[in-house]
Amino acid sequence: MNILILGSGGREHSLAWATLQNPKCDKLIVAPGNAGIAAIADCASLDIMDGAAVVAFSEANSIDFVIVGPEAPLAAGVSDDLRAAGFAVFGPSAAAAALEASKAFTKEICDACNAPTAAYGHFTDAAEAKAYVTAQGAPIVIKADGLAAGKGVIIAMTETEALDAVDTMFDGTFGAAGAEVVIEEFMEGEEASFFVLCDGVNVLPIGTAQDHKRAYDGDKGPNTGGMGAYSPAPVLTDAIAQKALDQIVKPCVAEMARRGMPYQGVLYAGLMIKDGQPRLVEYNVRFGDPECQVLMMRLGAQAFDLMHGAADGRLSEMQANWAEDHAVTVVMAAKGYPGDYAKGSVIKGLDALPEDAMNMVFHAGTTLLEGAVTASGGRVLNVTARGDDLAEAQARAYAMVDAIDWSEGFCRRDIGWRALGSG
């Protein structure tokens, strides 16, 4: 099969790495890709937000199957354009991608099927939003309705902060994403991510993970896209995962189908767990980045069969057999990230590192310049390892980090602390 993956992050490098191990893959193109992906597959420059361009490229390259990595092209309807042109695609329609693109939509779906989530109000008017805040009190969570690159959520610990947050949302800081606001009950507990493949009707869990959103050790500093992850997430026990499936994911997927917008692709449920009960924080309509990297390490070549089965409506006959071990990924970012950072520094020492089923450096913001791997983004490398337990996986990942010569980069030294009970 000729396969096209859309995206350029560590997530897409890990998807490419797993796909290439599958004998069904004859040819792999990643658009636009990065320096790490270019070492294992063809990279093509293509505007992945332009559905017509993606269709024309797929036709010209005899593509059989397209995997859409990030949420933006999904929300823009690129998978719809591909399907309309007859291509098999892994990734939801624009209508179903509203599960990530609109928080109010997700809350409404949860209401319709009684899925446990935070109590909320939905507002298009600042005065009404403020009245709700005053009635509910703090802590309280203020969210821009639309896609805001992970920045549209303000957790207000006091009522004054909450009222200011409402003003910030409605004054245009978040653009169109903030024209509608969801205000939610603050949920306490431990967060974990639950990943499920869906074929429109059937759902198949493919693993659990925990991300580290803050920039610095001890969960300090500003929020980022994610500074590291591990899988499995021990807080998501089998019993809690079953509850999440029965009470949250399956009812929501059934509700989507009932509304004529069947969900096909990976559904990433962000859960808050307290006293053995999961509640939904949010859905994402794509793999997490960097969570995907640890999931792919544990799934390997079958990940491609599972994604293809989801696109083909065959999940009811499939099983996910992930490795019963642990995987850790440590993100190396450019100094300054998530604020301003420099581009163009050269990263050395990568060639000497092992690249096998147990150890992989997945690239994110890298470019090959005159033969040198050069940093070209905020999050730059995902140093990933497996081990019999989390401590072993963590030690392996940091041994690789220490062998990388990149003084302009930084990473957290405590990825995994929650599950290891340290920190």
CA distance between the termini of the chain: 46
Residue with tokens 């999940």: 315
Give least dist CB 157 to ligand AMP, A. 11
Paired residues of 416 in beta bridges: none
- CA–CA distance, 103 with 142 (Å, rounded to integer): 11
Return the one option of ligand AMP, ligand GLY, none that residue 288 interacts with (CB less than 5 to 8 A, by type).
Answer: ligand GLY
Binding site for ligand GLY (CB under 6 A): 211, 225-226, 284, 288-289, 291
Does position 282 interact with ligand AMP (CB under 6 A)? The reply is yes
Residue 151: CB partners within 8 Å, gap ≥ 6? 174, 223
Minimum CB separation of residue 143 from ligand GLY in Å reads 14
In the set 76, 153, 235, 403, which binds ligand AMP (CB under 6 A)?
153
Tell me whether residue 116 or residue 270 sits nearer to ligand AMP (CB atom).
270
In the bound complex, what is the minimum distance in angstroms from residue 126's beta carbon to ligand GLY? 28
187 touches, from ligand AMP, ligand GLY, none (C-beta below 5 to 8 Å by class): ligand AMP
User: Dihedral of CA 255/261/266/272: which sign?
Assistant: negative
CA contacts within 13 A on the Cβ side of 165: 27
Residue 223, strand partner residues: 214
Spatial CA neighbour of 312 closest among 100, 97, 87, 98: 87
Residue 141 near ligand AMP by CB under 6 A: yes
Interaction mask 170-189, ligand AMP, x per CB under 6 A: --------------xxxx--
Helix ranges restricted to H, 26-125: 35-38, 51-60, 71-75, 78-84, 98-101, 103-113
Q: What are phi and psi of 124, to 5 degrees?
A: -120, 10
- Least separation in angstroms between residue 191's CB and ligand GLY is 11
Please report how close the Cβ of residue 188 comes to ligand AMP at its closest, in angstroms.
7
Tell me if 227 contacts ligand AMP by CB under 6 A.
no
Question: Least Å distance between CB 239 and ligand GLY?
Answer: 25
Nearest CB to ligand GLY, comparing residues 68 and 163: 68
Contact positions vs ligand AMP (CB under 6 A): 118, 141, 143, 150, 153, 155, 184-187, 191, 270, 281-282
